[in-house]
Amino acid sequence: MMGGMGSIIFRCGMAMLLFSLAACGGGDGGTTATSGVVSGVVTDAGTGMPLANAVVSEGAAMATTDAGGVYTLVRPVGDHILTVSAAGYLTTSRRCTVAPGATVSHDWWLTTAHPAYIDYSSAGLISTIPASTMNYVVLAWNDLGMHCAQDDYSAFCILPPFNTLHAQVIRRGGGVITSGITVSYSFAKKANSAANTNFWQYAAKYGWNAAPNVGITGTPLAGTMKVDANSLGFVAEGIPLTPYDDDGTWDPYATAAITVTDTASGAVLATTQVVAPVSTEMNCSNCHGMTNTYQNILQAHDRRNGTTLVADRAAGTLHLCGECHADNALGLPGKSGVKNLSLAMHGFHQDKLVSAGASTSSACYNCHPGPRTNCLRGTMFHASQTCTDCHGDMGTMTRVLANGRQPWLQEPRCGDCHGSGHQENSATLYRNSVLTNSPDPKMDGRLYCEACHNSTHAEYTSANPVDNGIPRQYQGDSYWIWNCYVCHTDYMPMPSMHQ
């Protein structure tokens, strides 16, 4: 989500849409009641090495990093926008709230200023990237950055195996195309999910008539993608993946092979690979025991809510959580008077989970994937943002859900931190938004945000190298799709993708 080529604003300690964020940092900075300290480390985004002589500033106040990339800057109590600059890097800004006598921790993650940012007329620029030899490029992504499933469906079902891939095909110099081509997907190491989950053994009990290795939407493990609802790209919705390869290897970041062929001739026009992440690391056993974990959950539910889930299971009746608890992820309305699934889960567990440290998001990783999966891995992770910086802690989640926030349909918004130049479309989630402020109006409404920036929680540059395959394939680095010549073939003297 670090779009464009100019300054990028990170805000911490601000109120996001329907969210109250946790305060930045903490600790005693030894300052007065009218000031506090901002301190952190500045590093290179590509190498992870600390940057000496970077300047963190606000107006005339400034601090220069030492050999370890460390800076310390005293600021008055209140809200500030700090800027960091270093020779050869993009200048970046970040908002932070300073509390009396406190030390606010803010690390920075700087991106190299590529030659194209400085001078688009540089000789030979077009030929400097791998895409220069290609006629077509394929920008592909997973919609969420991580999907969740269960290892066992014999007791109840929270979420079935369900993964969604998107792709846009671009004829270099000719724009986005959706006609005359066929886009297919397959998984070399995941051709038989039924070997690693008992979902299909119980699917009918949850109301799904799905054949083995076919998802609840009728989408198989390999097949042809459909043109999406906006006629801008292609989608395969509900792929029934598990985090296990066919040989049983744990692999939550498997790659799909995307192949584009000419529909008439069958000739292959382009290929790429994209991550289709899925994890079963919900870690219910952390609290509910390693033995008979799901049975223990049913017993607790019956004891606290007067339900008969244990008896129903013994009689052969299994329940989908969304039967009673509304679940927007599956489009299930639930029952009147019953809390939606997200509110029920966060509300009940809010006083039972304790984070081991703000930087680890460990409270969230008790249920969301997880210390083994490391779902939070995108550019927000590099910038030292945690789950709670965007979503709030468990208490905050509970409050905003109780006040009417719709889970899955109302999420933290890029524009609240990155400014109006990088905001989502009105009343539209990031994963569904398209570019609308390009330097050339012909581009507006054509490219999805995720096509260039990747999906939530895995925004380029991801800490997991497998996520970065597409930018490496086309522009030779791991950054977002910044180089205009990935898609264009003519000279374009534009300073920024986002105007």
CATH class name, domain 25-105: mainly beta
Residue 59 neighbours by CB under 8 Å, 6+ apart: none
Q: Tokens in use for 127?
A: 């030929």
Exposure string over 148-174, b if 16+ CB within 10 A, otherwise e: bbbbebebbbbbbbbbbbbbbbbbbee
Strand, coil or helix: what is 495?
coil
CA distances from 355 to 94, 348, 376 (A): 25, 16, 15
Residue-level pLDDT at 382 = 77
The answer to whether the CB of 85 falls within 8 A of the CB of 67 is: no
Q: How far apart are CA 480 and CA 116, in angstroms?
A: 14
Q: How far apart are CA 152 and CA 149, in angstroms?
A: 9
Residue 240 neighbours by CB under 8 Å, 6+ apart: 160, 161, 162, 163, 193, 199, 210, 213, 214, 215, 216, 219, 220, 221
Residue-level pLDDT at 471 = 94
How many other C-beta atoms are found inside a 10 Å radius of the C-beta of residue 395?
14
Q: How far apart are CA 177 and CA 181, in angstroms?
A: 8
Q: pTM for the full model?
A: 0.83
- Torsion sign (Cα): 29, 31, 33, 39: negative
Residue 157 neighbours by CB under 8 Å, 6+ apart: 150, 202, 206, 318, 319, 320, 321
CA dihedral 332, 337, 340, 341 (to 10 degrees): -90
The answer to whether the CB of 113 falls within 8 A of the CB of 90 is: yes
Q: How far apart are CA 423 and CA 307, in angstroms?
A: 44
Q: Tokens in use for 237?
A: 């919705």
Q: Tokens in use for 260?
A: 């584009």
Residue 52, Cβ density class (10 Å: 0-12 exposed, 13-18 middle, ≥19 buried): middle
* Spans of all domains in the chain: 25-105, 285-402
Q: How far apart are CA 81 and CA 486, in angstroms?
A: 33
CA terminus-to-terminus distance, the chain: 15
Q: E strands, 90-158, where?
A: 92-98, 103-105, 108-110, 136-142, 147-148, 156-157
Q: What are phi and psi of 260, to 5 degrees?
A: -110, 125
Q: Tokens in use for 183?
A: 């886009």
Residue-level pLDDT at 354 = 62
Q: How far apart are CA 319 and CA 335, in angstroms?
A: 13
Residue-level pLDDT at 118 = 41
Residue-level pLDDT at 433 = 96
On the CB side of 130, CA atoms within 13 Å amount to 12
- Torsion sign (Cα): 91, 92, 95, 99: negative
- Amino acid letter, 382: H
How many other C-beta atoms are found inside a 10 Å radius of the C-beta of residue 250?
14
The answer to whether the CB of 263 falls within 8 A of the CB of 180 is: yes
The pLDDT tens digits along the chain (499 residues) read 333 333 333 333 323 323 322 333 333 344 568 999 999 999 987 788 999 999 999 999 999 999 999 999 999 998 888 889 999 887 877 777 888 989 988 888 887 765 444 444 444 555 578 998 999 999 999 999 999 999 999 999 999 999 999 999 999 999 999 999 999 999 999 999 999 999 999 999 999 999 999 999 999 999 999 999 999 999 999 999 999 999 999 999 999 999 999 999 999 999 999 999 999 999 899 899 989 999 999 999 999 999 999 999 999 999 999 999 999 999 999 999 999 999 999 999 998 876 444 444 678 898 999 999 999 999 888 777 888 888 988 899 999 999 999 999 999 998 887 778 888 999 999 999 999 998 888 889 999 999 999 999 999 989 899 999 999 999 888 888 988 889 988 766 566 778 7
Q: Tokens in use for 219?
A: 């989408």
Exposure string over 98-128, b if 16+ CB within 10 A, otherwise e: bbebbbbbbbbbbbbebebbeeeeeeebbeb
Residue-level pLDDT at 7 = 34
- Torsion sign (Cα): 206, 155, 144, 278: negative
Ramachandran sector of residue 238 (left: φ over 0; alpha: ψ -120 to 50; beta: rest): left
- Give how far the C-alpha of residue 301 lies from the chain's centroid of Cα atoms, to the nearest Å: 31
Strand partners, 176: 170
